[in-house]
Amino acid sequence: MASTLPMRGRRTHRKSRHGCQQCKARKIKCDEAKPTCRNCSKHVVDCTYSLPSGGSPAQSQRSEGTSPQASNLCSCASSDLAVHDLELLHHFSTSTAYTFSRHPALQTFWRIDAPQIGFGAHYTLRAMLAISALHMAYLRPTQKQFYVSQAEHHHSVALKFVTSNMTQLMNENSSAVFLFSILTSFFSCAKPRKLDDLLLFQQGRISEWLVLFRGTGTIVEYAQEVLRSGPLAAFLSIRQRRSDYHTTLPIQRQAFMDELEELVREEVKDQHELQIYLGAIQEMRVSYALWSDTGVWETGMSLSGCCGYRRSF
């Protein structure tokens, strides 16, 4: 009689009801890693574990007359919605988008095209939410701390993801990476500064926004043809108009720039460094000429000028 093999016991697994809300909504197993679980980190989405404990300001502004039953119903209806993120996106499209430029075409880009790019690249979308949060912190000083914390959270998550996957992202979606670099430069200029941080120097070193602007120019050089034919062509057309601009400065400002150039020529002996400085001065001349001619300072003027600086600057 053949011997019977013992039945192998069923492999057990640990069950838990403490997974994050995002994994529950996707009906996938959560590893419960904190501050962000592995699934949320992979999909670059907010994890319940990483959200500020204070919640959104909308939650603290409920009227005293709201009944417990109504409050519970509202909570159930919005439990899977990141309402504060929707608020930031709405504000970006209806308000912040108009602060970047007075040109209707560029305003349309920021209102419509930029969010569409962000929907396909969540790191870029997070950068937009971060800028929107800083704008709301400025407009709502009584809630400044909350919105600044939201801005820092979104940008730090996005920046960590981009820096870890830059090469792959550039090959997959250079337009999204370029837009992210622009928004990151804006974020660096707009975020609150410490008392010992200056515009050009931060904690004893060159401010990060200068480095980021140079990186933006590098991306333009790397994927120029793709960017010129994509949704970001408007930005590059501004840069091209700058290089074709020949309007001279008013006499007083022209004298200031001439004095600066003369000083540089006297002090800088290395020819390579001299050409770098002279190129930067020329970009400044064009920026001031554009401003003098139009009477309006456009964000795109600064951006395209910094993108035009030599990589060695």
Query: pLDDT at position 282, please?
Result: 81
Q: Is it the case that residue 121 has pLDDT exceeding 70?
A: yes
Over residues 4-23, mean pLDDT = 64
Q: Is it the case that residue 180 has pLDDT exceeding 70?
A: yes
Q: How far apart are CA 144 and CA 2, in angstroms?
A: 78
Query: pLDDT at position 78, please?
Result: 46
Specify the higher pLDDT residue, 141 or 58.
Answer: 141
Give percent of the chain with pLDDT exceeding 90.
26
Specify the higher pLDDT residue, 76 or 298.
Answer: 298
pLDDT digits (tens, 9 = 90+) for 192-234: 877 666 655 666 666 666 666 666 666 767 777 777 777 887 7
Over residues 144-149, mean pLDDT = 95
Query: pLDDT at position 145, please?
Result: 94
Partners of 117 in beta bridges = none
Query: pLDDT at position 60, please?
Result: 43
Under 8 Å between Cβ of 87 and 58: yes
Q: From 150, 207, 155, select the one nearest 181 (Cα to Cα).
A: 155
What mean pLDDT is reported for the chain?
A: 75
Query: pLDDT at position 44, please?
Result: 67
Over residues 162-177, mean pLDDT = 85
- Where b means 16+ CB within 10 Å and e means fewer, 242-281 reads beeeeeebeeebeeebeeebeebeeeeeeeeeeebbeebe
**Quick one: CA dihedral 158, 163, 164, 166, positive or negative?**
positive
Query: pLDDT at position 96, please?
Result: 96
Look at the block and give the residue holding tokens 């969540």. Answer: 122
Specify the higher pLDDT residue, 42 or 175.
Answer: 175
The region of weakest confidence among 113-122, 132-141, 240-249 is: 240-249
pLDDT digits (tens, 9 = 90+) for 253-285: 778 888 999 999 999 999 999 998 888 888 777
Structural domain spans, the chain? 19-51, 82-240, 245-308
59 confidence band (pLDDT: 50, 70, 90): very low
Q: Which CATH number describes the domain made up of 19-51?
A: 4.10.240.10
Query: pLDDT at position 302, please?
Result: 53
Under 8 Å between Cβ of 131 and 187: yes
Q: Is it the case that residue 129 has pLDDT exceeding 70?
A: yes
Q: From 98, 103, 127, select the one nearest 115 (Cα to Cα).
A: 127
